Amino acid sequence: MTPLVSGALQSAGLLPLYQAHQRGEPIARSSISPNVDLMALGALADAIRIEDVGHEVFVFANRQATHAAVEVPASARGLVLMREVAIARITSPRGSRVRVDWGACSLEVAQVALGFGANELVGPISNRRGLPISEDATKKVKGQGMVSLQTLQIREIERVLRCAGKTPVFTADVLAQAEREEAAVHG
């Protein structure tokens, strides 16, 4: 943990929670003040995420995840969502996966939630208006020919996650489709 993060946790009174987590002690939701600084809470959750599960982000596009995870209530929005994600990370057992559904909150908001302790994203591949993109929808891309719109969306998600220092892990079927299209273009 950097001195800046450590100082922020100390100022917000959250350093004892981090130390308790390091000792393996369970942290109760009631031990987190409802008035605690949200950015400090997010920093604590992110530090715990890095220690517990690393930088991998599991992405389930157009399908349900096949394993259990802590899911943040779909009704949570905005700052409440970020607070709920952070609390879910802090109060969950070590190694827990914290999942956010971008179909309920938007892909951009779900990506912000990764900085508050989430490490799984699930949702439909859709356009900016939230409408599903059909599997056969394509777009002409210079130098690549006709490319699936779903593949373009997956590539965008991957780029954003990599630029944020995360390692995206997609489900096998999504990766297989993208690899088939890459092979068709370059093969």
177 and 151 in contact (C-beta within 8 Å)?
A: yes
- Residue 42 DSSP code: H
Confidence class for position 129, pLDDT limits 50, 70, 90: low
Per DSSP, the residues of 44-102 read HHHHHHHHHHTTEEEEEESS--SS--EE--TT--HHHHHHHHHHHHHHSPTT--EEEEH
In which region does residue 119 sit, left (phi positive, over 0), alpha (psi from -120 to 50) or beta (all else)? alpha
45 and 117 in contact (C-beta within 8 Å)?
A: yes
Confidence class for position 183, pLDDT limits 50, 70, 90: low
Cα separation, 182 vs 187, in Å, equals: 8
Predicted confidence (pLDDT) per residue in 131-179, tens digit: 667 677 777 778 877 777 778 888 888 898 999 889 998 876 555 555 5
In which region does residue 78 sit, left (phi positive, over 0), alpha (psi from -120 to 50) or beta (all else)? left
Domain that holds residue 121: 3-186
The closest alpha carbon to 82, from 58, 61, 109, belongs to 109
Res 175: pLDDT: 53
Res 157: pLDDT: 86
When divided into structural domains, the chain yields a total of: 1
Res 172: pLDDT: 60
Residue 116 CB coordination number (10 Å): 29
Predicted confidence (pLDDT) per residue in 38-96, tens digit: 999 999 999 999 999 999 998 888 766 666 677 777 677 889 999 999 999 999 999 88
